[in-house]
A and B are shown apart, each in its own frame.
Chain A
Amino acid sequence: MEILSVRNLKKYYGAGDTLVRALDGVDLSVEQGEFVAVVGSSGNGKSTLLHMLGGLDVPTSGSVCVAGHELSRLSENELAIFRRRKIGFVFQDYNLLPLLNVYENIVLPMQLDGKKPDREFVEELLKRLGLAEKQESLPNCLSGGQQQRVAIARALAAKPAILLADEPTGNLDSRTSQEVLGLLKATSECYSQTIVMITHNQEIAQLAGRIIRIEDGKVYE
């Protein structure tokens, strides 16, 4: 079943001389349960694509359809609700809330949805990500890698249908990276989640079922 479909997606920044074609006619289709790695050199539009898939940005033209929803048809509020129910997003720069501690950051999306977080599952996640001792810490007191793992935990905690991860292992050493990847694969299999992950690391990309390359705003398989 197709869960993600992108048709002729364009995103241009600026105009005239300074026009940047971050995405220039992207077509993409991802089946449910697929594990897709997105690679490409810096500034090629990887993050832009991921933002489009997560409904965080509005395309210049083209359509994005996620789990049967045409994103451009959703209102702002519907999009927010859609995100917290269906999508887990790991940002390149984490975007943790400085006010909340690790645990609170992780369960916030579920609480915003009025759901009771699955406590056991969250603790299991924390343990596997090596954060069990850090539950009460504030993000400011964590290292870059720790923060990144919190961001991953937050994305996984609600067991979203789709996980969008922007370089989730960018700040991790290779052993931890492998472990985190193992976790991602395991949960995605367990809950039949779809994963789209950006990475610069060829080794990690190899673990994915499918690799997509982005160059100059265009997609190559």
Chain B
Amino acid sequence: MIKVKNKKILRALAGKAYRGNLRQNLMMVVSIAMTAFLITVVFSLGVSYYKTVTERNLASEGIQYDVALPEPTDEQIRKTREFDGVKDAGLSVKCAVVDGKDNQDRIRLYWADEICWEKQCQPAYVRWEGTYPKNENEIMLSLQSLAELGIEQPECGMEIALTWGSLAAESDLRDCETVFRLTGWFEEYGNHNNGYIAKAFYEKTGVKQTDMTNGLLYISLENPLYSSAYIKKLGDQIGLTGNQVIYSDPYLLTKFIRLTAGLVFLTVMTLISGYLFVYNLFYISVSREIRNYGQFKTIGMTGSQMKTYLLWQIGWSVLLGAPSGLLLGSMTALGAVPHLLGVFSGESGKGQVVAFHPMLLLFAAIFTMLVVWSGCRQLLRKVAGLTPIEAVRFHESIRPRRQRRNTKEVGIFRMALWNVFRNRKRFVISAASLCMIVMVYLVVSVVLQQNSAKSVLNQQYRYDARILNSRLLDDPEYAGITEALAEQVGGVDGIKTVRRVYSQEVQYDYEDTYEIMRAYLEDVSELPMMSKDQMKENLDIWKNESWNEKNGSYQGKGRLVGINEAEFDVLNAQAGGRFDKAAFLRGEGAIAFGFLSNVSTKSLIGKTLRFQVYGQAEEESVTVKWSGDGVEEPNVLPNDVLPGMVVCEERFRQVVSVPIMELLDVEYEAAFDTAANQALTELLENHKDLRLSTKLDDYERMYENELRLRVIGSSLCAILAVLTFLNYGNMMAVSIQSRRRELAAMRSIGMTRRQQNAMMAAEGSIYAVIAGGISLAAGVPLSYVTAGAVNTYHTPYQLPALPNLLLFAVLFAFCSVIPVALYRFLHRGQLVELLKK
């Protein structure tokens, strides 16, 4: 009886205290809501992505599997099923198509073996009814295809007349008419015009499982997050033939790891900041009320009653904050998560599966509670254990330093410094939350910079558009880019320069070159991917096989590249101007480029290389005058391991009787000029044999991704900024209020308000400097690591200077202005009043 009454009283007391401290408690509610919100979003992000990965083929193909093998032989199927880690391997053969009415899509008829039907088709359906066809004239159809046939209410056993044709290459089964008996139907997630028929029917069509594009072995793996190494092993084991490849996503695991790392980072950040905010707020409200607690204690409240009293108050905040955060989080998850996923996976947000599950909410709720609990736990215990006297003495004015000698100067700055460190724990937490936002901003800004389409493109492209004669790979004599075309391109409005690059495969002279290139070749054989034995073997072949004996491939392959003046200027700029322009243009020498730009060609400087052009009898030679080390090669067609020689256009023409242009690099008057881009694209419409890639087109493709990143990054920063703002402002407000008498006392002995303003600003600046310093020290490496983890475009790490200078300026201003403003606002009234207890 008494106990019940006790509880009521405690609750009433707690309610009174809660209402009395509404501002503080409202902030607590907001913090908890934000924490719950962030946790919900981050969790649903993770689950959605996992679903997207594991069920990726569900919607698109209506079958649940991980990788697939086209045109499998029975032997391969057997080996696949025996392979470690393969859960199910089901065979499906597309064997006939049903003519659709008018323009409608045609229904494809498949035969699926038992494993495929039971393990891979059934789980992929929304629902299904009936049995798999057994007899030749039996059929099973998707609701979608039934609807196409005009059947809205399918019933098992009903008869359907269809006109079909076999997919076997040489079959004469065309326009066959058969009355099928419907043995079942199914509803899929996606819309496909599919139907299944019996094995007997499949055999009748004459289609083989090994026919191109018809047979497919669907493979479900124990571990849906397979690595490319695993797939390669599987391929080796079953023995892939000819053009056979296993359909799989080689980057699946990397992408997954990258996303997981990103999510773990976000989760940790969220949990830590949630903890910081809850702890700080709770600490502030406890230290504010601590005298009351002392009084409660003196009048006989026990420790556990004290706890209950406080728990009521925390409970109300949770009750108000958590559900609103969870609700907001779920709404965001449903709306924004698909886009978030696109960023992490590098795919467009459209085809993503959005996972939303009540369990997810439960988890988010539990985590929110955990955060709140860990934020309050320590203080609860401390308060419960306080003796009345301790509670009364729970004072903040402990000076955080040892007794010093000789320092007798007390400036405003020094007092500010002591004030900041008065309460170390509170300092640590407030500074930590400031660090958090600064660090997140730093990371976000680096990632944004890295993904800024323009900067990526400007950095990676040394042209605005490139016209590539890509057929040269197969046909070395294909003159796709004519002089006339080059002229035409140069005449397009808005195009500034056209840089021509000619290239010609040559064979180096063995005897001579082997001696001259010795040092170079040694460097090549040191490369990790080279095998010394292999190289030696190749050299032997080279020695014994002359040019004329070549049959498609030959040794001693090199490349002679001719460039015009404009291209030379670009190279020379990259080389820091170390090439002699006049000499180069006179044709006096070549720039030598090493294999994969990895091998230095310095050893070749001054040497004369002899070579022969295929189809030309006489031997030619050029002298290497400069090394192209550190400069990007002008041509893109691959060289063999031997060096490439770049000469001027005139010299190239002297050597090669039929000069072939490999590519044109086009520079616009203004980068990203849409009109010029459009004109060029139109011009190239008639040259389908050439590959046009423009910076602007790539920019447009990348821009969507950039935009999404920007939105997410700024929302994340905004949420954290709000939390930090609340947290820091609140901490300062409480600090000023708890120092009311002290501040008044200072003024009474002659400290002016101006001096106090300066002291407040100094306190804030100290926070800013410390938080800024720490976050710079920790944030730069962190941003480096994060940037490396999500580096889609392989751009070098770069800390954007301007946004971060701005950040530190804002941090400084924010930190120092807030306390001054709060001091003005809170420290008002007559001195005598402020001096009162």
- Residues A103 and B408 in contact in the complex (CB < 8 Å), given A51-B832, A136-B403: yes
Task: Name the one of A56, A76, A136 contacting B832, with C-beta atoms under 8 angstroms.
Answer: A56
Task: Name the one of B404, B405, B748, B754 contacting A77, with C-beta atoms under 8 angstroms.
Answer: B754
Query: Given the complex, which residues of A lie within 8 Å of B411, measured CB to CB?
Result: 111
Chain A residues 60 to 88 lying within 8 A of chain B, measured CB to CB, are 76-77, 80-81, 83-85
Check A80–B753 contact: CB distance below 8 A.
yes
CB-based nearest B residue for A57? B832
Asked if A58 is at the interface of the complex by the 8 Å CB criterion, the answer is yes
Check A56–B750 contact: CB distance below 8 A.
no
* Bound CA–CA A56/B404 (angstroms): 33
Asked if A89 is at the interface of the complex by the 8 Å CB criterion, the answer is yes
CB-based nearest A residue for B755? A112
Asked if B835 is at the interface of the complex by the 8 Å CB criterion, the answer is yes
CB-based nearest A residue for B396? A98
Chain A residues 93 to 137 lying within 8 A of chain B, measured CB to CB, are 93, 95-101, 103-104, 107-109, 111-113, 117, 119, 136
Query: Given the complex, which residues of B lie within 8 Å of A101, measured CB to CB?
Result: 399, 403
Size band of the interface chain B makes with A: 20 to 34
Query: Given the complex, which residues of B lie within 8 Å of A138, measured CB to CB?
Result: 399
Check A154–B749 contact: CB distance below 8 A.
yes
Query: Given the complex, which residues of A lie within 8 Å of B161, measured CB to CB?
Result: none
Asked if B397 is at the interface of the complex by the 8 Å CB criterion, the answer is yes
Check A57–B831 contact: CB distance below 8 A.
yes
Residue-wise interface mask of B (372-398) relative to A, using a CB-CB cutoff of 8 A (1 in contact, 0 not): 000000000000000000000001010
Query: Given the complex, which residues of A lie within 8 Å of B754, measured CB to CB?
Result: 77
Asked if B301 is at the interface of the complex by the 8 Å CB criterion, the answer is no
Task: Name the one of B404, B409, B752 contacting A111, with C-beta atoms under 8 angstroms.
Answer: B409
Size band of the interface chain A makes with B: 35 or more
Tell me how far the C-beta of A35 lies from the nearest C-beta in chain B, rounded to whole angstroms: 22
* Bound CA–CA A113/B410 (angstroms): 12
CB contacts between A and B, total, < 8 Å: 90
Check B745–A97 contact: CB distance below 8 A.
yes
Asked if B777 is at the interface of the complex by the 8 Å CB criterion, the answer is no
Asked if B418 is at the interface of the complex by the 8 Å CB criterion, the answer is yes
* Bound CA–CA A76/B403 (angstroms): 35
Check B750–A109 contact: CB distance below 8 A.
yes
Tell me how far the C-beta of A8 lies from the nearest C-beta in chain B, rounded to whole angstroms: 20
Check A84–B749 contact: CB distance below 8 A.
yes
Asked if B746 is at the interface of the complex by the 8 Å CB criterion, the answer is yes
- Residues A99 and B749 in contact in the complex (CB < 8 Å), given A56-B832, A111-B409, A140-B397: no
Tell me how far the C-beta of A64 lies from the nearest C-beta in chain B, rounded to whole angstroms: 14
Query: Given the complex, which residues of A lie within 8 Å of B419, measured CB to CB?
Result: 99
Query: Given the complex, which residues of A lie within 8 Å of B408, measured CB to CB?
Result: 103-104, 107, 117, 119
Residue-wise interface mask of B (794-837) relative to A, using a CB-CB cutoff of 8 A (1 in contact, 0 not): 00000000000000000000000000000000000011100101
Check B749–A109 contact: CB distance below 8 A.
yes
CB-based nearest B residue for A94? B745
- Residues A112 and B751 in contact in the complex (CB < 8 Å), given A95-B741, A98-B742, A99-B742: yes
Query: Given the complex, which residues of A lie within 8 Å of B397, measured CB to CB?
Result: 98-99, 140
Asked if B719 is at the interface of the complex by the 8 Å CB criterion, the answer is no
Tell me how far the C-beta of B735 lies from the nearest C-beta in chain A, rounded to whole angstroms: 12
CB-based nearest B residue for A80? B752
Query: Given the complex, which residues of B lie within 8 Å of A96, measured CB to CB?
Result: 745
Task: Name the one of A51, A98, A100, A112 contacting B750, with C-beta atoms under 8 angstroms.
Answer: A112
Check A56–B748 contact: CB distance below 8 A.
yes
Check B750–A95 contact: CB distance below 8 A.
no
Query: Given the complex, which residues of A lie within 8 Å of B830, measured CB to CB?
Result: 56-58
Asked if B288 is at the interface of the complex by the 8 Å CB criterion, the answer is no
Chain A residues 149 to 163 lying within 8 A of chain B, measured CB to CB, are 154
Tell me how far the C-beta of B737 lies from the nearest C-beta in chain A, rounded to whole angstroms: 15
* Bound CA–CA A54/B749 (angstroms): 10
- Residues A83 and B410 in contact in the complex (CB < 8 Å), given A99-B418, A136-B403: no
- Residues A85 and B750 in contact in the complex (CB < 8 Å), given A107-B410, A112-B755: yes
Asked if B422 is at the interface of the complex by the 8 Å CB criterion, the answer is yes
Check B409–A83 contact: CB distance below 8 A.
no
Query: Given the complex, which residues of B lie within 8 Å of A80, measured CB to CB?
Result: 747, 750-753
Asked if B675 is at the interface of the complex by the 8 Å CB criterion, the answer is no
* Bound CA–CA A62/B832 (angstroms): 18
CB-based nearest B residue for A139? B397
Chain B residues 716 to 748 lying within 8 A of chain A, measured CB to CB, are 741-742, 744-748
Task: Name the one of B748, B753, B832 contacting A83, with C-beta atoms under 8 angstroms.
Answer: B748
Query: Given the complex, which residues of A lie within 8 Å of B753, measured CB to CB?
Result: 76-77, 80
CB-based nearest B residue for A54? B748
* Bound CA–CA A172/B235 (angstroms): 97
Query: Given the complex, which residues of B lie within 8 Å of A57, measured CB to CB?
Result: 830-832
Tell me how far the C-beta of A159 lies from the nearest C-beta in chain B, rounded to whole angstroms: 14
Task: Name the one of A97, A103, A107 contacting B742, with C-beta atoms under 8 angstroms.
Answer: A97
CB-based nearest B residue for A113? B750
Check B399–A91 contact: CB distance below 8 A.
no
Query: Given the complex, which residues of B lie within 8 Å of A136, measured CB to CB?
Result: 403-405
Query: Given the complex, which residues of B lie within 8 Å of A107, measured CB to CB?
Result: 408, 410
Residue-wise interface mask of B (416-444) relative to A, using a CB-CB cutoff of 8 A (1 in contact, 0 not): 00110010000000000000000000000
* Bound CA–CA A119/B557 (angstroms): 91
- Give the one of A81, A85, A117 with max B CB within 10 A: A81
Tell me how far the C-beta of B146 lies from the nearest C-beta in chain A, rounded to whole angstroms: 84
- Give the one of A98, A108, A138 with max B CB within 10 A: A98
Query: Given the complex, which residues of A lie within 8 Å of B751, measured CB to CB?
Result: 80, 84, 108, 112
Tell me how far the C-beta of B192 lies from the nearest C-beta in chain A, rounded to whole angstroms: 76
Query: Given the complex, which residues of A lie within 8 Å of B831, measured CB to CB?
Result: 56-57
Query: Given the complex, which residues of A lie within 8 Å of B422, measured CB to CB?
Result: 99
Check B742–A108 contact: CB distance below 8 A.
no
Asked if B415 is at the interface of the complex by the 8 Å CB criterion, the answer is yes
Check B742–A83 contact: CB distance below 8 A.
no
- Give the one of B409, B422, B831 with max A CB within 10 A: B831
CB-based nearest A residue for B422? A99
Query: Given the complex, which residues of B lie within 8 Å of A54, measured CB to CB?
Result: 748
- Give the one of B403, B410, B415, B422 with max A CB within 10 A: B410
* Bound CA–CA A77/B750 (angstroms): 9
* Bound CA–CA A94/B835 (angstroms): 10
Check B746–A91 contact: CB distance below 8 A.
no
Query: Given the complex, which residues of B lie within 8 Å of A56, measured CB to CB?
Result: 748, 830-832, 835
Task: Name the one of A51, A76, A100, A140 contacting B410, with C-beta atoms under 8 angstroms.
Answer: A100
Query: Given the complex, which residues of A lie within 8 Å of B750, measured CB to CB?
Result: 80-81, 83-85, 109, 112-113
* Bound CA–CA A28/B655 (angstroms): 116
* Bound CA–CA A100/B746 (angstroms): 11
Query: Given the complex, which residues of B lie within 8 Å of A97, measured CB to CB?
Result: 742, 745-746
CB-based nearest B residue for A95? B745
17 A-B residue pairs with Cβ-Cβ distance under 8 Å, sorted by A, are: A54-B748, A56-B831, A77-B753, A81-B750, A85-B750, A89-B748, A95-B748, A99-B399, A99-B742, A100-B410, A103-B408, A107-B410, A111-B411, A112-B751, A119-B408, A136-B404, A140-B395
For the complex of A and B, list the 4 residue pairs with the smallest distance between their C-beta atoms, beginning with the closest. A84-B750, A98-B397, A95-B745, A80-B752
Given A99-B399, A111-B411, 5 other A-B residues pairs in contact with their CB atoms under 8 A: A57-B831, A77-B753, A95-B748, A104-B410, A108-B410
